[in-house]
Amino acid sequence: MSDPVVIPVPPEWAARAYVDDVKYKAMHASALADPEAFWGVQGQRLDWIKPYTKVKDTSFNEADFHIRWYEDGALNVSANCIDRHLETRGDSVAIIWEGDDPNNSSQITYRELHAEVCRFANVLKKRGVGKGDRVTIYMPMIPEAAYAMLACTRIGAIHSVVFGGFSPESLANRIKDCDSKTVITADEGVRGGKIIPLKANVDAALEHASGVTSVIVVTRTGAGVSMQDGRDVVYEDEAATVSAECAPEPMSAEDPLFILYTSGSTGKPKGVLHTTGGYLVYAAMTHQYIFDYKDGEIFWCTADVGWVTGHTYIVYGPLANGATTLMFEGVPNYPTVSRFWEVIDKHKVNTFYTAPTAIRALMRDGEEPVKRTSRASLRLIGTVGEPINPEAWLWYYRTVGDSRCPVVDTWWQTETGASLIGNLPGATAMKPGSATRPFFGIKPALVDDKGEFLDGAASGNLVLLDSWPGQMRTVYGDHKRFFETYFRTYPGMYFTGDGCRRDEDGYYWITGRVDDVLNVSGHRIGTAEIESALVADTKVAEAAVVGYPHDIKGQGIYCYVTLKAGVTPSDDLKRELIQTVRREIGPTASPDIIQWAPGLPKTRSGKIMRRILRKIAENDVSNLGDTSTLADPSVVDDLVANRAGA
Ligand code: WTA
């Protein structure tokens, strides 16, 4: 049965876009038929210090597992994002910064960006940072975050950006994992009118991460913060002592570019490693085609630079293409729920890219806060991060986009570097809720749990059969974990961890994670991480965490907690446990529901039956499936009877 809502490509889009349906099919077919030739041409969009002669050398098979793109070429990312634009658009705006306070904004031209990044690079050098060193960046959404990232790429250092909402504990783990000796932070961050004590968090983190010898503190609020002699310096003081010229370091295409930690189904977050050439080719190319970016347009991605979306579509993709990228310090509902739309009008934004969770939250306030703004500059709107429900899609299309802006739904992951499945605005008829079709050269497939291919209209596990330039290359420091996590389950294929349906038109509908990873407000969180934070509390004996459908967040966090003998359950204790999780991981991991569980449903071999816990959390208790393999089936009756909110 075909889905009733199909929104055709507006004719003016088929005419204005780089790619219409005929061209999409031709380009996709040629990329699949001869990847070497296709990606060889695409690589030319960058400036190479040493041209590549090899394009693709990849194998997903265990015996000769390797992923290399453009491997004998050399280039510098910051030179591609800045220097090469100076002649033609040195005085064009590279970054528009919109502060948390609506009266606070600024513009940075490409020429200014060049000077700022060179200065930051020279400060890093002065502090002893060199090629291959890891630099942890823990910053608010201010231009200096982008300068710091680009400065690392200029000298060949590997940045690891840690989202400013993460706790000192999480920050410490990420610093230690990649053994970074340098941390870049700000005195404080400002978000939604609230202060975030970033430097104090760094100080707390460094009590557990003693390898850090240098902390560079950018001034955001000017609040007095404690500075440790010899270790900490004020960025502006250092910047005043160095030159605004710094030659870009030639890097091999396969040299590491950045590490970004992301949650998996087991263990600690993994350091996803991306490399220089392939990542930038793919980031720039997807930014051009998916958003149909044309010179002079203003592009706004609302993500934080602490996530991959911010890396690829605030910094690297737009700047590689010479675009004007908007960086927003604030939140969608401060000072009012019209903020996004006011910023669009203020800066004449052409492309707006946000997450379904933000759309659903703003939808609750109705049309009026949107309709009181003009949004006349908008031409395209996009979404990313989680499946978008058709209702939210249609509201976004009609209310925000006035039924005239195509909605692009982009499916991708930290691991994939940039979007892999998504509609092209001039080529793909839209179906609300579907990420639609693969990008050029991407080979998705669906398999059942045994790894058998499912043809035609089907539902299964989403895998990718061949490499693309933006693919991650390894888990930092643990290449074995890279293979085991993504290539072991279905031999010869990259397993995404997502479930997916393909309809009779070949459109892909992502249904969400099939592993123990939650997607809460578009943020990835491993259930294992939350469980280990809960059991860190001395009153807790055991914990099991699952997701459940949540109107705004997409998924909420449902925790079953077994207390130690003699501990009395109470609402105060629930609050204490929520605080523990926030302290250990960060506010994004806050439990929504805690249910006291005298026991957890386990198999006779001691394995927790999460399937049952998920059903109880979803309040789908009429059909719990086979419970006869449980060691003690009566625990299920107790959990059902005492279901939170039941
Ligand atoms: C989910 C964010 C449906 C998916 C770029 C994926 C999506 C995980 C979409 C990666 C989308 C992302 N439709 N689901 N358009 N985009 N996802 O690493 O489950 O933070 O595996 O990367 O988000 O999250 P990550």
Question: Going by CA atoms, what residue is nearest to atom 11 of ligand 1?
Answer: 411
Question: Using a 6 Å cutoff on CB, does residue 355 contact ligand 1?
Answer: no
Domain ranges of the chain: 11-49+74-79+275-480+496-511, 105-252, 521-642
pLDDT of amino acid 628 = 78
**How much is the pLDDT for 644?**
83
Cα of 267 to ligand 1 centre, how many Å?
20
Q: Determine which residue's CA is closest to atom 3 belonging to ligand 1.
A: 387
Nearest CA to ligand 1 atom 12: 385
Atom of ligand 1 nearest to the CA of 513: 19
Torsions phi, psi for 189 (to 5 deg): -110, 160
Contact between 601 and 636 under an 8 Å Cβ cutoff? The reply is yes
Which residues line the annotated binding site? 191-194, 309, 333, 385-387, 409-414, 498, 513, 521, 524, 535, 540, 582
Banded pLDDT at 265 (limits 50, 70, 90)? confident
CB 270 near ligand 1, within 6 Å: no
Reported as a pLDDT band with limits 50, 70 and 90, residue 645 is low
pLDDT > 70? residue 3? no
Let me know: does 77 contact 153? Beta carbons within 8 Å. Answer: yes
Beta carbon of 586 within 6 Å of any ligand 1 atom:
no
Q: Is the CB of 262 under 6 A from ligand 1?
A: yes
For range 379-393, the mean pLDDT: 96
pLDDT digits (tens, 9 = 90+) for 165-185: 999 999 999 999 999 999 999
pLDDT over threshold 50, residue 207? yes
Mutate to test the pocket of ligand 1, among 274, 353, 524 (most ligand atoms within 8 A of CB): 524
**In the predicted model, is pLDDT for residue 4 greater than 70?**
no
| Rounded-to-integer distance, Cα 38 and Cα 282, Å | 12
What is the rounded CA–CA span in Å between residue 80 and residue 85? 8
CATH topology match: 105-252 vs 521-642: no
Of 263, 308, 413, best ligand 1 pocket probe by most atoms within 8 Å of the beta carbon: 413
pLDDT surpasses 50 at 512: yes
CB of residue 263 inside a 6 A radius of ligand 1: no
- Strands 508-513 and 494-502 come out as antiparallel
Looking at ligand 1, which residue's alpha carbon is closest to its atom 22?
413
SS3 244: coil
Question: Residue of the nearest CA to atom 6 in ligand 1?
Answer: 413
Binding site for ATP: what residues are annotated?
385-387, 409-414, 498, 513, 524
pLDDT, the chain, mean: 96
- Residue closest via CA to ligand 1's atom 25 equals 413
Name the nearest CA neighbour of 282 among 137, 496, 67: 67
Q: CATH classification of 105-252, choosing from 3.40.50.2020, 3.40.50.980, 3.65.10.10, 3.20.20.70?
A: 3.40.50.980
Ligand 1 centroid to Cα of residue 384, in Å, is: 7
Q: Write the pLDDT tens digit of every residue in 488-504.
A: 999 999 999 999 999 99
Fold adopted by 521-642: GMP Synthetase; Chain A, domain 3 (3.30.300)
Summarize pLDDT for 220-242 with one digit per residue, the tens.
Answer: 999 999 999 999 999 999 999 99
Is 453 within 8 Å of 474 (Cβ atoms)?
Answer: no
**Residue range 128-149: average pLDDT?**
98
Task: Give 496 Cα–ligand 1 centroid separation in angstroms.
Answer: 10
CA of 108 to the centre of ligand 1 (A): 31
Each residue's pLDDT tens digit, 340-369: 999 999 999 999 999 999 999 999 999 999
pLDDT score of 646 more than 60: no
Assign 3-state DSSP to the chain and report helix, strand, coil percentages, each to 5: 35, 25, 45
Q: Whose CA is nearest to atom 10 of ligand 1?
A: 413
- Cα 389 to ligand 1 centroid, rounded to whole Å: 14
Q: Is 341 in the pocket of ligand 1 (CB under 6 A)?
A: no
pLDDT-based confidence at residue 468 (cuts at 50, 70, 90): very high
Q: Which DSSP symbol is given to 438?
A: B
What's residue 1's pLDDT?
43
Residue pLDDT, tens place only, 525-572: 999 999 999 999 999 999 999 999 999 999 999 999 999 999 999 999
How remote is the CA of residue 523 from the centroid of ligand 1, in Å? 9
Please tell me the distance between residue 520's alpha carbon and the centre of ligand 1 in angstroms: 11
Name the more confident of 622 and 438: 438
What residue owns the CA closest to ligand 1's atom 1? 386
**Which residues touch 626 (CB under 8 Å, ≥6 apart)?**
none
The rounded Å distance from CA 168 to ligand 1 centre is 26
Polymer length of the chain = 646
- In this predicted structure, what is the pLDDT of residue 36? 98
Q: Give Cα 561 to chain centroid, integer Å.
A: 30
3-state secondary structure of 596: strand
Supply the residue whose CA is at minimum distance from atom 5 of ligand 1.
413
* Per-residue pLDDT at 406: 98
Going by alpha carbons, the residue nearest to atom 8 of ligand 1 is: 413
pLDDT tens string 10-59: 999 999 999 999 999 999 999 999 999 999 999 999 999 999 999 999 99
Quote ipTM for the complex. Answer: 1.00
Chosen CATH of 11-49+74-79+275-480+496-511 out of 3.30.420.40, 3.40.50.12780, 3.40.630.10, 3.40.50.2000: 3.40.50.12780
The CB of 467 under 6 Å from ligand 1? The reply is no
Q: Kindly give, in sequence order, each residue whose CB lies less than 8 Å from that of residue 605, ignoring residues fewer than 6 positions away.
A: none
Percent of the chain at pLDDT above 70? 99
| Ligand 1 geometric centre to CA of 313 (Å) | 14
628 or 184: whose pLDDT is higher? Answer: 184
Q: Tell me the CA–centroid distance for residue 444 and ligand 1, in Å.
A: 15
Backbone φ, ψ for residue 110 (5° rounding): -60, -35
Residues with Cβ within 8 Å of 87's Cβ and at least 6 positions away in sequence, in order, are: none
**Mean of the pLDDT values across residues 253-268?**
93
Q: Is 385 in the pocket of ligand 1 (CB under 6 A)?
A: yes
- Tell which residue, 96, 197, 199, has the closest CA to residue 143: 96
Average pLDDT on 281-302 reads 98
Q: Tokens 């890279």 — which residue?
A: 482
